[in-house]
Amino acid sequence: MDKHLIFMDIDGTLVSRDQKISTKTRSVISELQKDGHQFYVATGRKYSSAIDVAKRLTPETKVVASNGSIYSVNDTLHKKQLSRDALAAIYETVFQKKIPLFFFGEHTVFYTEELPEYLQKSDQSRVSASGEEDFLFIDSIDTLLSMSTRIVNGIIIADDRQDELNSIKAELAERELLSLSSSHPNNIELIPKGVNKATAIQEIQKELSVPKEKIISFGDGMNDLEMLQASGVSVAMGNAVDELKQEAKFITDANTEDGIANFLINYFD
């Protein structure tokens, strides 16, 4: 069979809630890689986190991170970043509302409110292998802009504040300084203007000379929509939001039921 290019979201798609990759999924993907098919994780996560998951899957798995802002192809890393104007607009729009705002570099998380509980206190002072801090507190717009060369993308997270999120999203969209998406109803993904997972896929597709009909993608959230639309074979997970299922050509089992592995076994059989 002709070689395929296969992209998988991470959270809600490749991994379970406890961040585990099933043995079945790892085995199926490893065998297909031996046959020459290329696999990427495609995620909103920062680059270092995405790399960690990719290498836990198989050493050969490549990365699209930060919702398409960072990707690797032929051993070259490509990166696009939020502009200084976009950073200023985001901060001015969100800060006074006291809604948690996070920005991501390749290795660092920049935050404006308290870190979520799942980020342990012992992690907050740890320095990553890159020599960059894992976490940096942003206390002013001046501090944020001083870090602009290190920031790639961001996210606004607020549980049970949907009206405020809708207002923020509308205001930022009107400024036309960045791209906006959502991986969950409680967030707004902040992405460099004109960038999404699909733009990265199209660049990789062009570099590797793979036709669209030989591209498979798996996702569960609305930030996967463009990725699925850019793929000849679009697959929504069984646990995906209804809007994504309506757009996908196929629906597989849930992430907790080996949805990726089961689809690939049937497709390549």
Which residue ranges form the domains of the chain, and what is each CATH number?
5-79+196-268 (3.40.50.1000), 84-192 (3.30.1240.10)
Q: What percentage of the chain carries pLDDT values higher than 90?
A: 77
Say what the pLDDT of residue 117 is: 63
Say what the pLDDT of residue 120 is: 42
Say what the pLDDT of residue 116 is: 63
Say what the pLDDT of residue 114 is: 73
Say what the pLDDT of residue 98 is: 86
129 contacts: CB under 8 Å, gap ≥ 6:
none
Residues of the chain with pLDDT under 70: 1, 116-132
